[in-house]
Structure 1
Amino acid sequence: MSLFAIRDYRHLFAAQIISLFGTGLATVALGLLAYELAGPSAGTVLGTALTVKMVMYVLIAPLAAAYIHRLPRRAFLILLDVVRAGVVLALPFVTEIWHVYVLIGLLQAASAAFTPTFQAVIPAIVADVTDYTRALSASQVASTMESLLSPVLAAVALAFIDFSWLFLGTSAGFLLSALLIAPTRIPDAAPSAHAGAWAKAAAGIRTFLTTPQLRGVLALNLVVAAAGSIVIVSTVNYVRDELGGSQQDVGWMLAASGAGTLLAALVLPRVLRRVAARAVMMAGAGTLVAASATAVTLVAAGPDTWAGTAGLWAGTAGVWAVIGAGMALVITPTGAILRASVAPAAVPEVFAAQFSLSHLAWLITYPIAGWLGTAAGFTLTWSLLATLAAVGGVGAVLLWPRSIAAPMRASLAKAA
């Protein structure tokens, strides 16, 4: 409670929550917009748009983290929110596919700069080390909860309105985020200890490459991205074309994945008190590999093997929920692993490196899910993604030896 007693932090956290939910609504709406513009080729459009997003995150986030000390941070955050609100408001009016790519590039460039700036502000407002680690965890929990609630809200909204109105909700969310940030007292940053952008980014990446458990996290990022891309990129075309579903059905199917995330998140705190984080994360990786393989059998076998279309709907929702749960098992303990692996002074750099490296994994899997899915079909595409998930899982086991888990338990308990 001491954390949320800090007025400026409350404002920033509320701004993050609203911004996250706005982004979640836009993700659902973007998939439906891609289907309206491209029909059966929607996977290609969505995969390309999300690839643009990942390129922006991988390239711009480290630059923003390195150079933010040269800018007035509060004004910069407000400007980024206003830019994002304007870009999202323009999306419902696009008539050409290339318009989508340009606007998504602008939107995600602003988002890629917003996230590291927001993360850099937190230690300036939350001075206590314990509260700071809790603030990082709260941000991670907010991102996890958004994956559940945004699709549910979108599904409910789509029962009454056209998907284009979801963009309006997103734009309003960004503007409200800016209004919350405006009265917040955010001190300008001190100069960075590193000479340049890439020096700062490289510091965190070097830590990842030289620390066994962080190398394991790096491999687990690939597992999450491979399985998650099946859900995020393929759901629109799969539900609309293979299952014959509606716009609202797309939202509910995405919500099934979020429901799995929520159920896992509810039980994880107690589990992590008794079970090593490594074991939990490896179990999550195994779950994702198995669920991805099951998704392949879903699309390859067809409705006859699943007791007709109704059985296929139920089977898909179940697999999507398992993928959501598996992602939570891997992602939720990651913050504690990062904090327990380095000295307090290096925590921001390692979090920034994880931000870029995890998005690099999505940069690999999004084009596969989108482009190959349209060109070669779901069976081959999902088989390749399931294989990548398996490669990542095996890599995590080899790179993160079991012997590392036991000495970290005390550190993780203190960091949690």
Structure 2
Amino acid sequence: MLAILRHRTFRHLFLAQTVALVGTGLATVALALLAYDLAGDDAGEVLGTALAIKMAVYVLLAPVSGALVPPRLRKCVLIALDLVRAAAALMLPFVDTLWQVYLLIALLQSASACFTPLFQSLIPEILPDERDYTRALSLSRLAYDLESLLSPMLAAVLLMVISFHGLFAGTSAGFVLSALLVLGTVFPAVEAAHGRGHPYERALRGMRIYLRTPRLRGLLAINLVAAAGGAMVFVNTVVIVRSALGGGDRDVAWAFAAFGFGSMAVALLLPRLLDRIPDRRVMLAAAVTMASALLVATVLWNGARAAIGWATLLPLWVILGMAYAGLVTPGGRLLRRSARSDDLPFLFAAQFSLSHACWLLCYPLAGWVGARFGLGTALLALSVVALSGLVFAWTTWPRRESAVLPHRHDDLPTDHPHWREYPAETDGVHAHEYFIDALHERWPR
């Protein structure tokens, strides 16, 4: 998997992503501790609100970012977005009221909502071979896991000598270094593939492709399962560790690291696993694991509270992390197989937006419900969400898939170029690799 780093352009972008995510991971720990400092036992509600704001701007801005930015400006835009994120992170240590936290989070995450789809859409252009792309996705997944593994470990060490406010400076430094790495990267020369029409019309193209492709509707349900488990970890870890277990700031960081350890362990195994086992089977197995772990946590919290301790929490967080990696890592492979290359930027933006709509549902469930009705109720609600996503994915995603599908074009003129490219066979039916586009607006039955 590390051999993919021989590709110079990908190596630079991967390093830019990694240092930015290490900084983001420091901010995750610092934000949780800041919320507890400002709101005490209601920190879950504060975090739920802050992260719901993050998801709202992701849902609104991500689809438009890929449509608005032409290829020739992607480098300048990515650098500018990194600098905006650096400035917002640098101001967070100076806030003393909740509305200031929410405002800066909205600014920082608006920049991230535009940055991430642009970054993700570059990878298939840089690495057109699917095996290379699969390994790049897993390596990219490992970089995301740094946010929940190495960053909390680094935070635990730093908290021995500085207050949590100093962690925000590390976040800002990560974004600045990311901008410098992007500056030194040679981007691929790609012609503008945005087509004509209003940017919002082009953005909606990705949504139409996504929602009309059966395997991607299954992927959306898988994203819901991942959000249910992830929201519980990211929102309520600080409350469980500080209030239920009586831990300190460093203990919060180590609990986050347990989740990241499980996620990274599975991400290392996935490239070879996906060479042998279909994506559907791997992702549904991970969904079963995630839903089962949430149900176990629900039973323990509501029925055997005395059993909740470090010996229970850490293994559960590791299992949730393992399931999380199995749910989210293969998603890019499905997207790449589900659209023509011209439409990939819009499809990645749609995935980014729709997946974060799932988080927009789950973050308030984890934070607001947990603060007002107790963590047991929040766990039960998130378990129901995970089980619902599992059932929908199982029934929606076809067991057998073929890239080449027979279909008809009853309303297409006989002299249309599409017939010359793919001649009709019996009864006006022809077959070719099938994607949702202007000529194929519905998936064939």
TM-score normalised to the size of structure 1? 0.89
In the alignment, the residues of structure 2 paired with residue 22 and residue 360 of structure 1 have an alpha-carbon distance, to the nearest angstrom, of 24
Change (3 A) 1:164 1:389: same
What is residue 96 of structure 2 aligned with on the other side?
A: 95
In the alignment, the residues of structure 1 paired with residue 3 and residue 296 of structure 2 have an alpha-carbon distance, to the nearest angstrom, of 45
Question: Which is helix-richer, 1 or 2?
Answer: 1
Aligned residue runs from structure 1 range 100-111, under 5 A: 100-111=101-112
Return the letter of the residue paired with 1:392. G
What is residue 115 of structure 1 aligned with on the other side?
A: 116
What is residue 161 of structure 2 aligned with on the other side?
A: 160
Change (3 A) 1:70 1:255: closer
What is residue 176 of structure 2 aligned with on the other side?
A: 175
In the alignment, the residues of structure 1 paired with residue 268 and residue 5 of structure 2 have an alpha-carbon distance, to the nearest angstrom, of 21
**Does the Cα contact within 8 Å between 1:298 and 1:316 map onto a contact in 2?**
no
Return the letter of the residue paired with 2:279. A
In the alignment, the residues of structure 2 paired with residue 407 and residue 43 of structure 1 have an alpha-carbon distance, to the nearest angstrom, of 48
Indicate yes or no: 2:280 matched with 1:312: no
Residue-by-residue CA offset, 1:79-113 (whole Å, 9 max, x unaligned): 21111111111111111011100000010011111
What is residue 73 of structure 2 aligned with on the other side?
A: 72
What is residue 280 of structure 1 aligned with on the other side?
A: 282
Change (3 A) 1:255 1:127: closer
What is residue 28 of structure 2 aligned with on the other side?
A: 27
**Does the Cα contact within 8 Å between 1:3 and 1:135 map onto a contact in 2?**
yes
Indicate yes or no: 2:8 matched with 1:11: no
Aligned residue runs from structure 1 range 252-271, under 5 A: 252-271=254-273
Superposition deviation, residue 36 in structure 1: 0.3
Change (3 A) 1:342 1:49: same
In the alignment, the residues of structure 2 paired with residue 70 and residue 351 of structure 1 have an alpha-carbon distance, to the nearest angstrom, of 15
Change (3 A) 1:328 1:291: same
In the alignment, the residues of structure 1 paired with residue 5 and residue 198 of structure 2 have an alpha-carbon distance, to the nearest angstrom, of 34
TM-score normalised to the size of structure 2? 0.84
Change (3 A) 1:334 1:121: closer
Indicate yes or no: 2:235 matched with 1:233: yes
Residue-by-residue CA offset, 1:302-339 (whole Å, 9 max, x unaligned): 543x2xxxx62211111111111111111122222222
Indicate yes or no: 2:392 matched with 1:391: no
Return the letter of the residue paired with 1:401. P
Return the letter of the residue paired with 2:388. V
What is residue 367 of structure 1 aligned with on the other side?
A: 364
Aligned residue runs from structure 1 range 297-336, under 5 A: 297-304=299-306, 306=307, 312-336=309-333
Return the letter of the residue paired with 1:177. S
Change (3 A) 1:302 1:93: farther
SS in 1 for 2:175: helix
Aligned residue runs from structure 1 range 155-234, under 5 A: 155-186=156-187, 190=192, 192-234=194-236
Superposition deviation, residue 369 in structure 1: 0.9
Q: Which moved more, 1:45-54 or 1:160-169?
A: 160-169
Return the letter of the residue paired with 2:327. V
In the alignment, the residues of structure 1 paired with residue 205 and residue 403 of structure 2 have an alpha-carbon distance, to the nearest angstrom, of 26
Q: Which moved more, 1:382-391 or 1:69-78?
A: 69-78
Q: Which moved more, 1:185-194 or 1:57-66?
A: 185-194
Aligned residue runs from structure 1 range 118-133, under 5 A: 118-122=119-123, 126=126, 128-129=128-129
Indicate yes or no: 2:349 matched with 1:346: no
**Does the Cα contact within 8 Å between 2:224 and 2:359 map onto a contact in 1?**
yes
Q: Which moved more, 1:189-198 or 1:47-56?
A: 189-198
**Does the Cα contact within 8 Å between 1:276 and 1:406 map onto a contact in 2?**
no
In the alignment, the residues of structure 2 paired with residue 81 and residue 135 of structure 1 have an alpha-carbon distance, to the nearest angstrom, of 22
Change (3 A) 1:32 1:127: closer
Change (3 A) 1:264 1:121: closer
SS in 2 for 1:281: helix
Residue-by-residue CA offset, 1:194-222 (whole Å, 9 max, x unaligned): 52233223222222222221111111111
Superposition deviation, residue 75 in structure 1: 2.4
Return the letter of the residue paired with 2:365. I
**Does the Cα contact within 8 Å between 1:28 and 1:154 map onto a contact in 2?**
yes
Return the letter of the residue paired with 1:327. Y
Superposition deviation, residue 286 in structure 1: 0.6
What is residue 414 of structure 1 aligned with on the other side?
A: none
In the alignment, the residues of structure 1 paired with residue 198 and residue 101 of structure 2 have an alpha-carbon distance, to the nearest angstrom, of 33
**Does the Cα contact within 8 Å between 1:61 and 1:113 map onto a contact in 2?**
yes
What is residue 51 of structure 1 aligned with on the other side?
A: 52
Superposition deviation, residue 143 in structure 1: 1.9
**Does the Cα contact within 8 Å between 1:264 and 1:329 map onto a contact in 2?**
yes
Larger Rg: 2
Superposition deviation, residue 400 in structure 1: 1.1
Q: Number of matched residues?
A: 403
Superposition deviation, residue 28 in structure 1: 1.2
In the alignment, the residues of structure 2 paired with residue 74 and residue 345 of structure 1 have an alpha-carbon distance, to the nearest angstrom, of 19
In the alignment, the residues of structure 2 paired with residue 405 and residue 188 of structure 1 have an alpha-carbon distance, to the nearest angstrom, of 29
**Does the Cα contact within 8 Å between 1:239 and 1:245 map onto a contact in 2?**
yes
Change (3 A) 1:338 1:74: closer
Change (3 A) 1:407 1:390: farther
Indicate yes or no: 2:81 matched with 1:84: no
Superposition deviation, residue 71 in structure 1: 7.4
Residue-by-residue CA offset, 1:243-295 (whole Å, 9 max, x unaligned): 11111111111111111112222333333233222111111101111111111
CA RMSD of aligned residues (A): 2.5
Structure 1 unaligned residues grouped into runs of 5+: 412-416
SS in 2 for 1:404: coil
In the alignment, the residues of structure 1 paired with residue 398 and residue 192 of structure 2 have an alpha-carbon distance, to the nearest angstrom, of 38
Residue-by-residue CA offset, 1:30-86 (whole Å, 9 max, x unaligned): 111000011011111111110110011111111211111187332222221111111
